[in-house]
Structure 1
Amino acid sequence: MFQWEMWFSGGGVRAHFQDTCSRPVQNLRAGRLRRTGTQKLRVSRRSTDFEVSMVQIDLLAPDAPAATRAPHPLWACGFRPFFLVAAIFAVVAVPWWATIFARGLSVATGWSALSWHGHEMIFGFALAVIAGFLLTAVQNWTKGVTAQGPWLMALVALWVAGRVAMSGVWEPGILGAILDLSFVPALAVAIGRPLRATKNRRNYAFVAMLGALFVMNLLMHLASLGAPVGGERLWLLASLDLVVVMMLVVGGRVIPMFTSNATGVAVRKPTWLEKALVTFVGLSIASQIALGLGAQSLRWVAIASSALAGVAVIARMVGWGTRATLKVPLLWVLHAGHAWIGVGFLLRAAAYLWPQVSSAMATHAITVGAVGMLTLGMMARVALGHTGRPLKAHASLGWAFALLGVAALGRTFLPMIAPALLAGAWPGYYVGFVSFSAALWAVAFLIYAVVYLPVLTRPRVDGRPG
Structure 2
Amino acid sequence: MTHPTTTTPSQRQPSILFALGFRPFYLLAAGLAAAWIPLWVMAWHGHFTIPSGFSPVGWHTHEMLFGFTSAVLVGFLLTAIPNWTGRPTATGLPLAGLAALWLAGRAVMLSGAVLPWQVVAAVDVAFLPLAAASMLPPLVATRNRRNIAFPFVLIALALANLALHLDAAGIALLGAEATRTVLGAMMVLLVVMGGRVIPFFTKNRLPAAGVGGSKRLDTLATTTVVLAAVLSVASPLTPASGLAALAAAVLLVVRSIPWRPLAARSVPMLWVLHAGHAWIAAALFLHAALDFGLDLPASAPDHAFTIGGIGVLTLGMMARTARGHTGRPIEATRMMIAAFTIINLAAIVRVFGPIAVPEFQVPAIGLSGLLWASAFVLYLVEYVPILLGPRVDGRAG
1:244-393 equivalences under 5 Å are 244-264=187-207, 265-291=209-235, 299-393=238-332
Distance (Å, rounded) in 1 between the aligned partners of 2:249 and 2:287 = 9
Query: Offset of 1:393 from its aligned partner?
Result: 1.2
Query: Offset of 1:70 from its aligned partner?
Result: 9.7
Distance (Å, rounded) in 1 between the aligned partners of 2:278 and 2:174 = 29
Distance (Å, rounded) in 2 between the aligned partners of 1:211 and 1:185 = 5
Matched, 1:180 2:119: no
Query: Offset of 1:106 from its aligned partner?
Result: 4.4
* Deviations, residues 403-437 of structure 1 (Å, cap 9, x unaligned): 11111000001111113xxx4xxxxx422110100
Amino acid at match of 1:278: T
Partner of residue 45, structure 1: none
Higher-Rg structure is 1
Distance (Å, rounded) in 2 between the aligned partners of 1:135 and 1:302 = 34
Distance (Å, rounded) in 1 between the aligned partners of 2:240 and 2:59 = 29
Distance (Å, rounded) in 1 between the aligned partners of 2:13 and 2:144 = 27
Partner of residue 71, structure 2: 128
Partner of residue 224, structure 1: 168
| 3-state SS in 1 of match to 2:328 | coil
- The count of aligned residue pairs is 385
Distance (Å, rounded) in 1 between the aligned partners of 2:222 and 2:268 = 28
Contact 2:53–2:109, Cα closer than 8 Å, also in 1: no
Contact 2:167–2:174, Cα closer than 8 Å, also in 1: yes
CA RMSD of aligned residues (A): 1.7
Partner of residue 78, structure 1: 21
Query: Offset of 1:279 from its aligned partner?
Result: 2.4
1:55-204 equivalences under 5 Å are 72-103=15-46, 106-167=49-110, 170-172=113-115, 173-204=117-148
Partner of residue 388, structure 2: 457
Partner of residue 5, structure 2: none
Q: 2:355 aligns with which of 398, 403, 416?
A: 416
Structure of greater relative contact order (alpha carbons < 8 Å, 6+ residues apart): 2
- Greater shift, 259-268 or 329-338, is seen at 259-268
Distance (Å, rounded) in 2 between the aligned partners of 1:373 and 1:288 = 23
* Deviations, residues 178-230 of structure 1 (Å, cap 9, x unaligned): 010000011101111111111111101101211210111111111222233x4
- Greater shift, 402-411 or 347-356, is seen at 347-356
Contact 1:71–1:149, Cα closer than 8 Å, also in 2: no
- Greater shift, 195-204 or 119-128, is seen at 195-204
Query: Offset of 1:271 from its aligned partner?
Result: 2.7
Contact 2:184–2:226, Cα closer than 8 Å, also in 1: no
Matched, 1:437 2:380: no
Distance (Å, rounded) in 1 between the aligned partners of 2:251 and 2:130 = 34
Gaps of 5+ in 1: 1-36, 38-68, 424-428
- Greater shift, 270-279 or 138-147, is seen at 270-279
Gaps of 5+ in 2: 3-11
| 3-state SS in 2 of match to 1:170 | helix
Amino acid at match of 2:148: Y
Query: Offset of 1:104 from its aligned partner?
Result: 7.0
Query: Offset of 1:300 from its aligned partner?
Result: 2.0
* Deviations, residues 9-59 of structure 1 (Å, cap 9, x unaligned): xxxxxxxxxxxxxxxxxxxxxxxxxxxx9xxxxxxxxxxxxxxxxxxxxxx
- Greater shift, 262-271 or 361-370, is seen at 262-271
Query: Offset of 1:144 from its aligned partner?
Result: 1.3
TM-score by length of 1: 0.80
Contact 2:78–2:135, Cα closer than 8 Å, also in 1: yes
Matched-pair identity in %: 41
> Measured at CA, do residues 450 and 70 of structure 1 come closer, stay the same or move farther in structure 2, by a change above 3 Å?
closer
Query: Offset of 1:236 from its aligned partner?
Result: 1.2
Q: 2:153 aligns with which of 209, 212, 224?
A: 209
Distance (Å, rounded) in 2 between the aligned partners of 1:395 and 1:279 = 38
| 3-state SS in 1 of match to 2:148 | helix
Partner of residue 46, structure 1: none
Distance (Å, rounded) in 2 between the aligned partners of 1:84 and 1:368 = 19
TM-score by length of 2: 0.93
Amino acid at match of 2:43: I
Distance (Å, rounded) in 1 between the aligned partners of 2:25 and 2:54 = 26
| 3-state SS in 1 of match to 2:45 | helix
